[in-house]
Amino acid sequence: MSFLTVAFAALFYAATILLVVGLARRIYLYWKTPAPLKIPTTPAPITTGGVVLRMFREVVFFESLFKGSKWTWLFGWVFHMALFAVLFRHLRYFQEPVWGLVEWVGPLFKYLAFAMVIGLLGLLARRYLVDRVRYISAPSDYLMLLLLLGIGISGALTTFVAHTDVVAVKSFFRHLMTFNFGTMPNLPSDPLMVIHLGLVALLMIIFPISKLLHAPGVFFSPTRNQVDNPREKRHIADWARKLEQ
Protein backbone atom coordinates (compact mmCIF):
# COMPACT_ATOMS: atom_id res chain seq x y z
CA MET A 1 0.00 0.00 0.00
CA SER A 2 1.21 3.45 -0.84
CA PHE A 3 1.87 6.04 1.85
CA LEU A 4 -0.97 8.11 0.44
CA THR A 5 -3.37 5.22 0.85
CA VAL A 6 -2.37 4.58 4.44
CA ALA A 7 -2.47 8.28 5.27
CA PHE A 8 -5.95 8.74 3.78
CA ALA A 9 -7.23 5.60 5.43
CA ALA A 10 -6.11 6.97 8.79
CA LEU A 11 -7.44 10.43 7.94
CA PHE A 12 -10.90 9.18 7.07
CA TYR A 13 -11.17 7.02 10.14
CA ALA A 14 -10.14 9.95 12.30
CA ALA A 15 -12.45 12.36 10.48
CA THR A 16 -15.40 10.00 10.78
CA ILE A 17 -14.84 9.49 14.49
CA LEU A 18 -14.49 13.24 15.10
CA LEU A 19 -17.59 13.96 13.06
CA VAL A 20 -19.77 11.32 14.67
CA VAL A 21 -18.55 11.74 18.24
CA GLY A 22 -18.39 15.53 17.98
CA LEU A 23 -21.89 15.80 16.57
CA ALA A 24 -23.32 13.27 19.00
CA ARG A 25 -21.88 15.20 21.93
CA ARG A 26 -23.24 18.46 20.62
CA ILE A 27 -26.67 17.03 19.93
CA TYR A 28 -26.70 15.50 23.41
CA LEU A 29 -25.83 18.92 24.84
CA TYR A 30 -28.71 20.56 22.98
CA TRP A 31 -31.00 17.74 23.99
CA LYS A 32 -30.28 17.89 27.68
CA THR A 33 -30.21 21.70 27.99
CA PRO A 34 -33.69 22.68 29.12
CA ALA A 35 -35.87 25.31 27.48
CA PRO A 36 -37.47 26.80 30.59
CA LEU A 37 -39.97 29.05 28.84
CA LYS A 38 -42.31 28.83 25.89
CA ILE A 39 -40.79 31.10 23.27
CA PRO A 40 -42.05 30.06 19.82
CA THR A 41 -41.98 32.94 17.37
CA THR A 42 -45.68 33.49 16.83
CA PRO A 43 -47.95 32.96 15.04
CA ALA A 44 -46.89 29.41 15.80
CA PRO A 45 -48.59 26.05 15.34
CA ILE A 46 -50.82 24.96 18.19
CA THR A 47 -50.33 21.22 17.60
CA THR A 48 -47.31 18.93 17.36
CA GLY A 49 -48.29 18.10 13.79
CA GLY A 50 -48.24 21.77 13.00
CA VAL A 51 -44.75 22.10 14.45
CA VAL A 52 -43.52 19.18 12.33
CA LEU A 53 -44.90 20.95 9.29
CA ARG A 54 -43.31 24.26 10.29
CA MET A 55 -39.94 22.56 10.78
CA PHE A 56 -40.34 20.78 7.45
CA ARG A 57 -40.95 24.07 5.66
CA GLU A 58 -37.98 25.56 7.47
CA VAL A 59 -35.45 22.83 6.63
CA VAL A 60 -36.70 21.98 3.16
CA PHE A 61 -37.74 25.36 1.81
CA PHE A 62 -35.84 27.72 4.15
CA GLU A 63 -39.12 29.54 4.77
CA SER A 64 -37.77 32.19 7.16
CA LEU A 65 -34.78 32.97 5.00
CA PHE A 66 -37.13 33.41 2.06
CA LYS A 67 -39.02 36.03 4.07
CA GLY A 68 -35.74 37.68 5.01
CA SER A 69 -33.59 37.92 1.91
CA LYS A 70 -34.51 36.70 -1.55
CA TRP A 71 -30.96 36.67 -2.92
CA THR A 72 -29.49 34.83 0.05
CA TRP A 73 -32.38 32.43 -0.12
CA LEU A 74 -31.85 31.79 -3.82
CA PHE A 75 -28.11 31.11 -3.57
CA GLY A 76 -28.37 29.34 -0.22
CA TRP A 77 -31.25 27.11 -1.22
CA VAL A 78 -29.74 26.19 -4.57
CA PHE A 79 -26.42 25.37 -2.88
CA HIS A 80 -27.95 23.21 -0.16
CA MET A 81 -30.31 21.30 -2.41
CA ALA A 82 -27.60 20.71 -4.97
CA LEU A 83 -25.28 19.56 -2.19
CA PHE A 84 -27.82 17.03 -0.95
CA ALA A 85 -28.44 15.78 -4.48
CA VAL A 86 -24.72 15.43 -5.12
CA LEU A 87 -24.24 13.67 -1.79
CA PHE A 88 -27.06 11.30 -2.69
CA ARG A 89 -25.39 10.55 -5.97
CA HIS A 90 -22.15 9.84 -4.08
CA LEU A 91 -23.80 6.86 -2.41
CA ARG A 92 -22.79 4.99 -5.57
CA TYR A 93 -19.18 5.11 -4.35
CA PHE A 94 -20.03 3.43 -1.08
CA GLN A 95 -22.72 0.90 -1.96
CA GLU A 96 -22.43 -2.60 -3.32
CA PRO A 97 -24.78 -3.23 -5.01
CA VAL A 98 -25.84 0.35 -5.75
CA TRP A 99 -29.50 1.18 -5.13
CA GLY A 100 -31.55 1.45 -8.29
CA LEU A 101 -32.61 5.01 -7.49
CA VAL A 102 -29.02 6.14 -6.94
CA GLU A 103 -28.04 4.53 -10.24
CA TRP A 104 -30.98 6.13 -11.98
CA VAL A 105 -30.46 9.73 -10.82
CA GLY A 106 -26.68 9.55 -11.24
CA PRO A 107 -26.33 10.84 -14.80
CA LEU A 108 -28.69 13.75 -14.07
CA PHE A 109 -27.50 14.70 -10.59
CA LYS A 110 -23.87 14.96 -11.58
CA TYR A 111 -24.64 18.25 -13.32
CA LEU A 112 -25.94 19.66 -10.05
CA ALA A 113 -22.31 20.17 -9.06
CA PHE A 114 -22.53 23.31 -11.19
CA ALA A 115 -25.60 24.52 -9.33
CA MET A 116 -23.76 23.94 -6.07
CA VAL A 117 -20.77 25.96 -7.22
CA ILE A 118 -22.93 28.77 -8.58
CA GLY A 119 -24.83 28.93 -5.29
CA LEU A 120 -21.58 29.12 -3.34
CA LEU A 121 -20.17 31.82 -5.62
CA GLY A 122 -23.35 33.81 -5.12
CA LEU A 123 -23.05 33.51 -1.35
CA LEU A 124 -19.40 34.51 -1.49
CA ALA A 125 -20.14 37.53 -3.66
CA ARG A 126 -22.90 38.62 -1.33
CA ARG A 127 -20.69 38.18 1.71
CA TYR A 128 -18.12 40.50 0.21
CA LEU A 129 -20.29 42.96 -1.70
CA VAL A 130 -23.03 43.80 0.83
CA ASP A 131 -21.49 46.13 3.38
CA ARG A 132 -23.64 44.80 6.20
CA VAL A 133 -22.73 41.19 5.55
CA ARG A 134 -19.06 42.02 5.07
CA TYR A 135 -19.12 43.74 8.46
CA ILE A 136 -20.31 40.61 10.26
CA SER A 137 -18.00 38.18 8.43
CA ALA A 138 -14.99 36.63 10.19
CA PRO A 139 -12.15 34.98 8.21
CA SER A 140 -13.74 31.61 8.97
CA ASP A 141 -16.92 32.68 7.18
CA TYR A 142 -15.02 33.21 3.94
CA LEU A 143 -12.86 30.13 4.43
CA MET A 144 -15.92 27.95 4.90
CA LEU A 145 -17.26 29.02 1.52
CA LEU A 146 -13.83 28.56 -0.09
CA LEU A 147 -13.58 25.08 1.42
CA LEU A 148 -16.94 24.09 0.02
CA LEU A 149 -16.05 25.66 -3.32
CA GLY A 150 -12.81 23.68 -3.33
CA ILE A 151 -14.72 20.48 -2.72
CA GLY A 152 -17.29 21.27 -5.38
CA ILE A 153 -14.85 22.40 -8.05
CA SER A 154 -12.32 19.60 -7.51
CA GLY A 155 -15.13 17.07 -7.55
CA ALA A 156 -16.67 18.49 -10.71
CA LEU A 157 -13.28 18.49 -12.41
CA THR A 158 -12.75 14.79 -11.68
CA THR A 159 -16.16 14.09 -13.14
CA PHE A 160 -16.08 16.31 -16.19
CA VAL A 161 -12.45 17.08 -17.01
CA ALA A 162 -9.75 14.85 -15.61
CA HIS A 163 -11.23 11.46 -14.86
CA THR A 164 -9.79 9.55 -11.99
CA ASP A 165 -9.82 5.80 -11.47
CA VAL A 166 -13.14 5.90 -9.72
CA VAL A 167 -13.32 2.14 -9.45
CA ALA A 168 -10.17 2.17 -7.33
CA VAL A 169 -11.52 5.01 -5.19
CA LYS A 170 -14.70 3.10 -4.57
CA SER A 171 -12.79 -0.05 -3.77
CA PHE A 172 -10.66 1.91 -1.29
CA PHE A 173 -13.74 3.15 0.58
CA ARG A 174 -15.47 -0.24 0.45
CA HIS A 175 -12.40 -1.75 2.10
CA LEU A 176 -12.30 1.03 4.70
CA MET A 177 -15.96 0.48 5.49
CA THR A 178 -15.59 -3.25 5.92
CA PHE A 179 -12.24 -2.97 7.77
CA ASN A 180 -10.73 -5.23 5.15
CA PHE A 181 -7.15 -4.07 4.76
CA GLY A 182 -5.61 -7.17 3.18
CA THR A 183 -6.72 -6.62 -0.39
CA MET A 184 -7.03 -2.82 -0.18
CA PRO A 185 -6.09 -1.19 -3.49
CA ASN A 186 -3.96 1.93 -3.66
CA LEU A 187 -5.82 5.24 -3.77
CA PRO A 188 -5.32 6.98 -7.14
CA SER A 189 -2.78 9.72 -6.59
CA ASP A 190 -3.95 12.30 -9.12
CA PRO A 191 -3.91 15.72 -7.43
CA LEU A 192 -7.61 16.51 -8.00
CA MET A 193 -8.72 13.41 -6.15
CA VAL A 194 -6.25 14.02 -3.34
CA ILE A 195 -7.47 17.60 -2.97
CA HIS A 196 -11.12 16.57 -3.14
CA LEU A 197 -10.79 13.85 -0.49
CA GLY A 198 -8.52 15.95 1.71
CA LEU A 199 -10.97 18.86 1.78
CA VAL A 200 -13.90 16.54 2.47
CA ALA A 201 -12.03 15.09 5.44
CA LEU A 202 -11.30 18.61 6.68
CA LEU A 203 -14.96 19.52 6.38
CA MET A 204 -15.93 16.45 8.39
CA ILE A 205 -13.42 17.37 11.10
CA ILE A 206 -14.51 20.98 11.52
CA PHE A 207 -18.23 20.23 11.25
CA PRO A 208 -18.85 19.78 14.99
CA ILE A 209 -16.71 22.76 16.02
CA SER A 210 -17.96 25.35 13.56
CA LYS A 211 -21.05 27.17 12.41
CA LEU A 212 -21.98 24.03 10.48
CA LEU A 213 -23.71 23.20 13.76
CA HIS A 214 -26.61 25.10 12.26
CA ALA A 215 -27.59 21.76 10.73
CA PRO A 216 -28.48 20.01 14.00
CA GLY A 217 -29.14 23.36 15.71
CA VAL A 218 -32.18 24.26 13.65
CA PHE A 219 -34.06 21.22 14.97
CA PHE A 220 -33.44 22.33 18.55
CA SER A 221 -34.38 25.97 18.05
CA PRO A 222 -37.11 26.70 20.62
CA THR A 223 -38.55 29.51 18.53
CA ARG A 224 -39.28 27.00 15.78
CA ASN A 225 -39.86 23.66 17.49
CA GLN A 226 -42.20 24.62 20.30
CA VAL A 227 -45.96 24.16 20.23
CA ASP A 228 -47.90 27.32 21.04
CA ASN A 229 -49.98 25.99 23.96
CA PRO A 230 -48.68 27.63 27.14
CA ARG A 231 -52.12 28.33 28.56
CA GLU A 232 -53.34 24.80 28.01
CA LYS A 233 -50.26 22.93 29.20
CA ARG A 234 -47.91 23.90 31.99
CA HIS A 235 -44.35 23.93 30.76
CA ILE A 236 -41.63 23.89 33.38
CA ALA A 237 -37.95 23.02 33.48
CA ASP A 238 -36.43 20.92 36.25
CA TRP A 239 -34.20 23.72 37.49
CA ALA A 240 -37.19 26.06 37.61
CA ARG A 241 -39.32 23.54 39.48
CA LYS A 242 -36.73 23.56 42.24
CA LEU A 243 -37.50 27.25 42.84
CA GLU A 244 -41.00 26.20 43.83
CA GLN A 245 -39.86 24.01 46.70
Partner 1 sequence: MAKAEFEIPELKEYPEIPPIQPGAMAHSKPYVAKADFQEPLGYPGELVDDWQDKAIEAMGDLLGKYRSLQVFLDACVKCGSCTDKCHYYLGTADPKNMPVARQDLLRKVYRRYFTFAGKYFPKLVGATDLTEEVLEDWYNYFHQCSQCRRCSVFCPYGIDTAEISMAAREIMDRIGLGQKYCNEIVGKVFRIGNNLGLPGPALEDTLEGLEEDVFDDTGVEVKYPLDKKGADILLVTPSADFFAEPHVDGLIGYGKVFHEAGVNWTLSSKASEAANFGMFIGSYENMRKISLRIREAALELGVKRIVFGECGHAWRVAYSFLNTLAGPWDFLDQNYPIPQHICEFTYDLIQKDKDKPEEEKVLKFDKSQNDDMVVTFHDSCNVARASRMGDFPGGQFVIPREIIKTVCNNFVDMDPDTVYEKTFCCGGGGGLLTDELMELRVKGAKPRMEALRNVIEEDGVTHMAMICAICKAQFTKVLPYYGRGMDMIVSLHQLVSNAIVLTGQQTEDEEEEENEAAAE
- In the complex, the smallest distance separating the C-beta of residue 40 from partner 1, rounded to whole angstroms, is 8
Q: 140 vs 189, which CB is nearer to partner 1? A: 140
- In the complex, the smallest distance separating the C-beta of residue 185 from partner 1, rounded to whole angstroms, is 35
- In the complex, the smallest distance separating the C-beta of residue 166 from partner 1, rounded to whole angstroms, is 32
Q: 163 vs 211, which CB is nearer to partner 1? A: 211
- In the complex, the smallest distance separating the C-beta of residue 150 from partner 1, rounded to whole angstroms, is 17
- In the complex, the smallest distance separating the C-beta of residue 42 from partner 1, rounded to whole angstroms, is 6
Q: 100 vs 131, which CB is nearer to partner 1? A: 131
Q: 6 vs 46, which CB is nearer to partner 1? A: 46
Report whether 195 contacts 150 (CB < 8 A).
yes
- In the complex, the smallest distance separating the C-beta of residue 113 from partner 1, rounded to whole angstroms, is 22
| DSSP codes, the chain | --HHHHHHHHHHHHHHHHHHHHHHHHHHHHHHS---S--PPSS--SSHHHHHHHHHHHHHH-HHHHHH-HHHHHHHHHHHHHHHHHHHHGGGGT-SSPPHHHHHHHHHHTTHHHHHHHHHHHHHHHHHHSHHHHHH--HHHHHHHHHHHHHHHHHHHHHHTS---HHHHHHHHHHHHTT--TTPPPPP--HHHHHHHHHHHHHHHHGGGSGGGHHHHHHH-HHHH--S-TTTS----HHHHGGG-
Q: 41 vs 180, which CB is nearer to partner 1? A: 41
Q: 68 vs 191, which CB is nearer to partner 1? A: 68
Q: Which residues bind partner 1 (CB under 8 A)?
A: 26, 29-30, 33-39, 41-46, 50, 58, 62, 64-65, 67-69, 72, 76, 126-127, 130-133, 135-141, 143, 206, 209-211, 213-214, 217-218, 220-224, 228, 230-231, 233-237, 239-240, 243
Nearest alpha-carbon partner for 148 in 181, 168, 171, 123? 123
